[in-house]
Amino acid sequence: MSAQARQAGIRLGALNARERNVKYLMFACASLSVLAIMLIFLFILRESLPAIRQLGVRNLFLSADWSPNVSNPEAGSYGMLAFINGTIMTTLSAMLIGAPLGIGAAVFIDQFAPPSIAQVVRRGIELLAGIPSVIIGWFGLTLLVPFIARLTGSSGYGMLAASLVLVVMALPTITTLSAETLRSLPPELQEASVAMGATRWQTVYRVLIPAAREGLLIAVILGMGRAIGETMAVQMVIGNARQLTFSPLQRTSTLTSRIITDMGEATGVFRSALFAQALVLLILAMVLIVSIRLISRERKH
Amino acid sequence: MNDLTENKMEIKNLSMFYGDFKAIEDISLDIPSQRITALIGPSGCGKSTLVRCLNRMNDLIQGCRVEGEVILDAENMYTPGYDVIGLRRRVGMVFQRPNPFPKSIYENVAYGPRLLGIKDKQRLDGIVEDSLKKAALWDEVKANLQESGQNLSGGQQQRLCIARVIAVEPEVILFDEPCSAIDPVATQLIEDLMADLKKNFTMVIVTHNMQQAARVSDFTAFLLVQVQGDPGRLVEYGDTNTIFTNPSDERTERYITGRFG
């Protein structure tokens, strides 16, 4: 109910029928997203239950042997550990590179750039956020993978290429939110520091970044959220092998890239095991969201 | 002015512009050493602008420009290439709204010394204790040095900010309406503190409170914008007693007797 509607309601003493209907309509809109997340969760849980029941937690989540059998799904092995590892490793390495880059860019925009240049950088980052992931993946496939191959003598496919692609995808989120956090700091902080004889850089790393710590952390976590679910661009550069590896230069898979690679031919328990992968992905994403809630609550205290 | 006191600062024909707007014009006055000089005048007369010219805080504002000179110990601080960072360590500032960092009380006071490269824990401890004592805050906070400076009351925060400035042993402390955001009891404490600090520091205070200027300062400068849109100009400057009891300019008299402003 809008403030205006509320006022009208007070003036008339009661809401007329049309106002009431609008209220129900808005309530339905609001409920829809809550309903959607619940349905998605329940649906994925239901679809993955057969695999969990048949294979057991150990063979499904803690084994790295993924040997599906397309013609006779029951005969295959469906251990997803390699892909959980791939997802976590690529996301974390992407953040290791992306967090300093994004926060650095935000500090540049907020503190060092002349307004005209800051504006150009800001617009550029907005554009980057709007590029469809398949285009970034293609760019990774045609430029990045051969480049890594030439540099290292490997195939070029693997977690390194995937992480770098994810950096590009997460950078707009991290930069925009970090810049927003820095901008919302009270100007008195900077004034106080400068008046103490601090240089711009000293002010940034001794006062502004510590003061913005929680907000910056949230920016990075939301960037992780972007990275952890990215599918297309990762599938194009990670090599899509089934092996468990910690080497950034060997082909492997993430949960998302494995689902999209296998979903066309999966039936029975094979299909259910893919849903179990989706369940793990969903839980990982929720852990990120919950950690943001916790950090925000901490900040309010 | 007073032959016995030497001048710490000399402001000479100072004008300052925000873009095309001239905020203050042709102001000349001397800031005597180890005295408190008050800048008074109605809102918008340029007194805050003037005080921010004295440690070049106005440098932070885009499009601001200064004409004239501010001499600190025989050197014009607006000379090209002048060490502004060093200047701000010599000329500290306390702001209108208390602005402690979101750090512990200890780290707030240790901020300046750390900037100067002091890392020795014992030495920092000593500086923190000493500065908090000089700022008359030690007894209230000595048990909670690790608490956030922002959890203190407004008046305590302002004294913490004073301690933070004292910790780098500046020569001059500028106060930009330091009591406008705190209650009368806390104001009293800060005024007493200023009288105490006079032994070691040269101070300039901007205040809209004439009683405060009369109570704490040795010299008073009265600034005024004659017609709206004009820059602020210095109307009268002299011994605080004289300004408040026997001003030579009629406008000063009308202001201090509360007829406008």
The SS3 assignment for A276 reads helix
Nearest CA in chain A to B167: A196
Cα B35 from Cα B7, distance rounded (Å): 10
Chain B residues with CB-CB distance to A209 below 8 A: none
Question: Does pLDDT of B259 surpass 80?
Answer: no
Query: CA geometry: angle at A65 spanning A61 and A67, to 5°?
Result: 115
A77-300: CATH number: 1.10.3720.10
Q: Residue A241: its pLDDT value, please?
A: 94
CB of A123 closer than 8 Å to CB of A172: no
Q: Residue B1: its pLDDT value, please?
A: 45
Q: Within 10 Å of residue A207's Cβ, how many Cβ atoms?
A: 22
Of A121-130, B124-133, B228-237, B250-259, the one with minimum mean pLDDT is B250-259
Q: Residue B227: its pLDDT value, please?
A: 86
Cα A19 from Cα A21, distance rounded (Å): 5
Question: Does pLDDT of A51 surpass 90?
Answer: yes
Chain A residues with CB-CB distance to B93 below 8 A: 195
CB contact under 8 A, B111 and A193: yes
CB of B96 closer than 8 Å to CB of B174: no
Task: Name the strand (E) or helix (H) holding A144.
Answer: none
Query: Once rounded to an integer, what is the mean pLDDT over residues B205-227?
Result: 93
Q: Give the residue from B55, B114, B111 showing the smallest Cα distance to B83.
A: B55
B171: which DSSP letter? S
Query: Once rounded to an integer, what is the mean pLDDT over residues A232-257?
Result: 95
Size of interface A-B (CB pairs under 8 A): 60
Q: Give the residue from A225, A275, A272 showing the smallest Cα distance to A255.
A: A275
Could you tell me the domains of chain B?
A: 7-99+175-256 (3.40.50.300)
Q: Residue B2: its pLDDT value, please?
A: 47
Cα B37 from Cα B1, distance rounded (Å): 12
CB contact under 8 A, A196 and B101: no
pTM: 0.84
CB of B26 closer than 8 Å to CB of B15: yes
Looking at every residue in chain A, the average pLDDT score rounds to: 92
Q: What is the pLDDT of residues B31-78, one digit of tens each?
A: 999 999 999 999 889 999 999 999 999 988 888 999 999 999 989 999
Question: Does pLDDT of B184 surpass 50?
Answer: yes
Instruction: ipTM value, please give it.
Output: 0.90
End-to-end C-alpha distance for chain B, whole angstroms: 27
Q: What is the pLDDT of residues A178-221, one digit of tens each?
A: 999 999 999 999 999 999 999 999 999 999 999 999 999 999 99
The SS3 assignment for A251 reads coil
Percent of chain B with pLDDT over 90: 86
Question: How does residue A5 score in pLDDT terms, banded at 50, 70 and 90?
Answer: low
